[in-house]
Amino acid sequence: MVGLFTVTQAGQITRQIHFPVVVPSGTSCEQAQVELFSALERARSAGEANLDQDTALARFRAALDPEWARIEGSRANCASTDQRRSLDALERLRYAEEHAVRREAASLAALRRQVAADVAKHTNARMSGGDRP
pLDDT tens readout for residues 46-86:
888 666 788 888 999 999 988 888 888 888 888 888 999 99
Instruction: Please say whether the beta carbons of 36 and 53 come within 8 A.
Output: no
Find the domain containing 117 and state its range.
28-127
* Domain assignment present for 100: yes
Q: What is the pLDDT of residues 6-41, one digit of tens each?
A: 999 998 888 877 776 655 566 788 898 999 999 999
Phi, psi values for residue 95, rounded to 5°: -70, -35
Reported as a single tens digit per residue, the pLDDT across 85-118 is: 999 999 999 999 998 888 877 777 677 778 888 8
Determine, yes or no, domain membership for 58: yes
Q: What's the number of domains the chain is made of?
A: 1
Residue 1, domain member (yes or no): no
